[in-house]
Amino acid sequence: MKYLIVGLGNPGSEYEHTRHNIGFKILDALADASNISFSDKRYGYVAEYKFKSRTFILLKPTTYMNLSGRAVNFWLQKEKIAFENLLILTDDLALPFGTLRLRGKGGDAGHNGLRSIQQVTGRSDYARLRFGIGNEFHPGQQVDYVLSEWTDEEKAALPEKIDTCIEIIQGFGTIGVARTMNQFNKRK
């Protein structure tokens, strides 16, 4: 069984530690913990992760956030992965910092990466793990906020939250989206 796990973010060192790049950060942590590394491939950095007889293709798109759909569509087709085996990892302003929400489908909620995926694939019935980044910004400062770095307090809390995200990815591939939602969405 094959899965495509896509961490949304922007390539480049200037974005590496920003809130918007939490998808990249989660996949980097998973790769580090599993002693695997990413290769620079078409439309993204790609790694292959094996867990309980499942193969997870990990993708960090290099298309920039607004064109993430190109990378997602290409890798779904290249790896012949069923659409229901797609999981997108994304930041979410509507959730308090560190809140994790797994959903089996949904709208883009104004997120440019999710909007691109829906436009290119023509579908919104894909799983997404939303990582709350909070909304501690003044009106008109949203872009600056998502592209800013984590506070020291947030940085200290990230490892535990990222570990939970890795458990959610593993659950998605082994017990499915519904059971994984039941197990993790109730956690604080």
How far apart CA 188 and CA 175 sit, in angstroms, is 21
Strand order across the beta sheet in which 54-61 lies: 39-41, 44-51, 54-61, 2-7, 86-92, 127-132, 100-103
3-state helix, strand, coil in the chain (%, to 5): 40, 25, 35
Which of the residues are catalytic?
20
Q: What is the largest CA-CA distance in the chain?
A: 48
Give CA separation, 92 vs 33, 56, 115, 142, in Å: 25, 23, 13, 12
Residue at 27: amino acid letter:
L
One-character DSSP codes across 21-88: GHHHHHHHHHHHHHT---EEETTEEEEEEEETTEEEEEEEESS-GGGHHHHHHHHHHHTT--GGGEEE
